[in-house]
Structure 1
Amino acid sequence: MKIAIIEDEELAAEALAAIIRRLRPEAEIIQTLPSVEEAICWLTLHASPDVIFCDIHLSDGISFEIFRQVSVKCPVIFTTAYNQYAIEAFQVNSIDYLLKPLKPTDVAKALKKYEDMQQQFIVQQLNGLQQLVHQPARHATRARFLVKIGQSIKAIPVEEAAYFMAEEGVVFLVTFGGKRHIINYTLDQLEEQLDLSDFFRANRHLIVHINAVQEVKPYFKGRLALELHPALEGDQTVSSSRAADFKQWLDL
């Protein structure tokens, strides 16, 4: 595990490094960066580490500026004495938010979270390879759905679908104009027919179009709360197991 530390206080950086070495002796701390400017320069010129521990208040500014200027793909664990930046941290590749003074137990939990995510990613890759080998080719993505309106049949282009929702055993196509139409497909069947760069299976009852997602907020137990357009009654959430994939899909 290769780790970079972004921290402007030398003693704090050394203390964090000591905690990491004690918890993960095999880990390699490849760089300690004391400022926004130096972090931008180093991350631009070097391969990304496996994980970054990053303070928020640095000597020359707020560390979020680093991630606005450099595309950082690895997970980030934020460390700070302030708790008002949790939402903004969530918009970066944040997997944890630790308040100073840092406790070894908190650092251990953050490292374990990172390792669990990596293990889950490996399992997903293996499952994906197995599916490619054993499953038949996917159907072409659907361009429209036929729905019944009174005595007529109407074609609804797929780009007009804001989301598909299952309610008491019935699946509805809901348009961006707020109209609901019953369709004769399950959500599992729809996943096989939709362009998954545009649609995401948020939970057992909901598939959403990327343009229908207006706001995303942290929710209980690692889940994400969604605000959709058109609005949908009740709490609409993404499960904790799918939260990382959802953030990647939204390019957060």
Structure 2
Amino acid sequence: MKVLIVEDEDLAAAKLIKMLEKYDSAIQILDNLTAVKDTVQWLRKNPAPDLIMMDIRIDDGVCFEIFQQVEVTSPVIFTTAYDQYAIKAFQVHSIDYLLKPFSYEKLEQSLEKLKKINTLAPPPSPTINVEELLQALQQKEPSYKSRFLVKAGTKIRSIKTEDIAYIYTDRKLNLLVTNEADRYPLDQSLDELGQVLNPDIFFRANRQLILHIDAVSAIHPYFKGRVKLDLTPPLDAEIIISSEKTPDFKAWLDR
């Protein structure tokens, strides 16, 4: 079986690939795409895969935008950190869905469901009602986390979101950094954190970094329409916002 993965979180993609290989070592991973634009281009240029594993919110938007731009004839299993209100809207339009974080057993059930469908008849083409799905995602007023419980040695601390400067990935470890430059490991992926943090206050700068608006101390023009950031407290890495994300980033800062 040839599988296309659409997932912008490195750790989540790596975990999914291991699960798929555990299910069937003969599974071929065609590609791991992270953005709507790249996925549309890939689907236009390549034969339809046997299955698409697709996260809902990816680098440059919501995955349903893909279906507005290109015909998708492959069966789709959605993976999502959204709660049940969103899942109810699209579960009838796909082979299955998996609510993050999901176990190997849940993925196995979805793949067995696909296998049964394939033995009975050719898998149905997804009939995605994009407008309905996008509307459903906007219907419920979201609630965002106000604090995180973190481990501090042998103790547990409660960190308010207003005290978070940024959250970043360092060598496969997700770290919460406070305004005082204290660092604490988090179990959640950046993709999952992006769903529970208020987007008016936090911005997904890239695949490794989520920023609090007050952590941005300076912005510098960079090559090809990009911008470079200085953060407080400083981060020992070059922070570049891509040319695609720069307009959204500036609009976020200028609210």
TM-score by length of 1: 0.47
Structure whose CA Rg is larger: 1
